[in-house]
Structure 1
Amino acid sequence: MKKISVFMLFIFGVSAAAFSQEDIKWMTFEEAAKATSSSPKMILVDVYTDWCGWCKKMDKETFTNSEVIAYVNENFYPVKLHAEKTDRKFSFKGKEYTEASMAKTMRVTSFPNFVVMDATMENITQLPGYREPKPFIEGLDGIVKRFTK
């Protein structure tokens, strides 16, 4: 009986932790553009593909880290942009784009790649490649401090 009680407590604790963890509040590109026009904030664009193993590793390991989640949600409008998706169109600065054509416009050639934009939706820089949670936050924090003073 004691083993069952301990097991049930363990399962409940794991389930509660999984459900209580907040996620990054991902947006579409056009949602971020609208949000920053009414409440200015930098934009972090995660440019990815379905076949990219390092992109999946970022999703699984870095974007589930509680410190990364808190930092990204506080400092950015985060956007997921599929670099090969051509079926959804949106307008940006008077031109029509697909996610694939926007990735090309941003000159993204490797994945994962993180494009950082200022509140006026101008590209500031790119952070290419997989990053573990701490170096990811450090890289973003350096950009935030440099461009928001």
Structure 2
Amino acid sequence: MKIFKKLVFILAVSAASLMAVHAEAGDKNDEKGADKGIVFVPGSWAQILKKAKAENKIIFFDAYTTWCGPCKMLQKNVFTRPDVADVFNKNFINVKVDMEKGEGPMLAERYPLEGYPTLFFIDGDGHVVKEIIGYQNPETLIKVGKAVAKKNGALL
């Protein structure tokens, strides 16, 4: 019986060790995976406009809400794709704003919304260059992003 208890103890310790190693490896993979998606820049709207103007870039502005299903799908299935991130991280200042919190309500007045998500392309002076409403598949979002970047003289 003592051998059985020791064996169970050894198996339990081994399993716990393996789970800890697996969890640590998963954390590292998550960190590596984070750089594969669109990088959204934090900051106030005034700071974002200033940054866009200084870098001569267009702002890609994801106007979303936490309860919006298509918004969640964009975040999960489109913004995380390396091919989408490649276009958007090189050519735009990327910003996400919950339109019901913080500066969101003020921005909703400045940039009226017809639905969620609304994806704006805005110049450094705060003028809308392009607006698209609703979920966009990766291919369409890349096509729109490249067209906006090209029109505004960005290097793809």
TM over 0.5: yes
Choose 37-46 or 57-66, whichever is displaced more: 37-46
Choose 122-131 or 17-26, whichever is displaced more: 17-26
How many angstroms apart in 2 are the aligned matches of 1:31 and 1:24? 19
Q: Secondary structure at the match of 1:79?
A: strand
For structure 1, the residue ranges without an aligned partner over 5 or more in a row are 1-7, 89-97
Distance 1:17 1:66, change over 3 A: farther
Task: Report the Cα offset of residue 46 of structure 1.
Answer: 0.1
Task: Report the Cα offset of residue 104 of structure 1.
Answer: 2.6
Alignment RMSD = 2.3
Identity of aligned residues (%): 25
Q: Which residue of 2 aligns with 1:58?
A: 74
Higher helix share: 2
Q: Which amino acid aligns with 1:49?
A: T
Q: Which amino acid aligns with 1:118?
A: D
Distance 1:66 1:13, change over 3 A: farther
Task: Report the Cα offset of residue 133 of structure 1.
Answer: 1.1
Q: Encode CA deviations 1:28-80: one digit per residue, 9 max, x unaligned.
A: 33332121232211101000011100000000000100111121111000111
Residue 67 (str. 1) matches residue 67 (str. 2):
no
Task: Report the Cα offset of residue 144 of structure 1.
Answer: 1.7
Q: Secondary structure at the match of 1:81?
A: strand
Does the CA-based 8 Å contact 2:63-2:119 persist in structure 1? Answer: yes
Residue 102 (str. 1) matches residue 104 (str. 2):
no
Does the CA-based 8 Å contact 1:117-1:123 persist in structure 2? Answer: yes
Distance 1:35 1:47, change over 3 A: same
Aligned length in residues? 131
TM-score for the superposition, normalised by structure 2: 0.72
Select 2:49's aligned residue among 4, 23, 33: 33
Q: Which amino acid aligns with 2:149?
A: V
TM-score for the superposition, normalised by structure 1: 0.75
Q: Which residue of 2 aligns with 1:127?
A: 132
How many angstroms apart in 1 are the aligned matches of 2:27 and 2:149? 35
Does the CA-based 8 Å contact 2:50-2:124 persist in structure 1? Answer: no
Q: Secondary structure at the match of 1:84?
A: coil
Distance 1:133 1:17, change over 3 A: farther
For structure 2, the residue ranges without an aligned partner over 5 or more in a row are 1-18
Select 2:97's aligned residue among 59, 81, 99: 81
Larger Rg computed on CA atoms:
2
